[in-house]
Amino acid sequence: MIVLNYGWQFALVVLLSYFAGNFCAAIFISKKLIQQDIRGLGSKNAGTTNMTRVFGLKYGAATLLIDLLKGFACVLVSKMMLTSVGGPDAGMLAGYLAGLAVILGHNYPVLLGMKGGKGFASGIGVFIAINPLFTLVVLFLGVILLFIVDRMSVFALAFFAVQAVYSCIVQAYWWISVFAGVYFILAVIAHWPNIILLARGEERKLGLFKLIARGR
45 contacts 193 by C-beta, under 8 angstroms: no
The alpha carbon dihedral of 152, 158, 161, 167 has a sign of: negative
For residue 87, what are the domain limits? Answer: 2-214
Q: What is the DSSP-derived secondary structure letter of residue 119?
A: S
> pLDDT, tens digit, for every residue of 133-191?
999 999 999 999 999 999 999 999 999 999 999 999 987 789 999 999 999 999 999 99
Q: Is pLDDT at 211 greater than 80 in this prediction?
A: no
Number of domains in the chain: 1
Rounded to the nearest 10 degrees, what angle do helices 152-170 and 132-149 cross at? 150
> pLDDT, tens digit, for every residue of 117-135?
999 999 999 999 999 999 9
Higher pLDDT, 214 or 195: 195
Contacts of 188 (CB under 8 A, 6+ apart): 157, 160, 195
197 contacts 157 by C-beta, under 8 angstroms: no
Task: Using a cut of 0.95, tell me whether the model's pTM lies above it.
Answer: no
Closest CA relative to residue 33, chosen from 56, 10, 9: 56
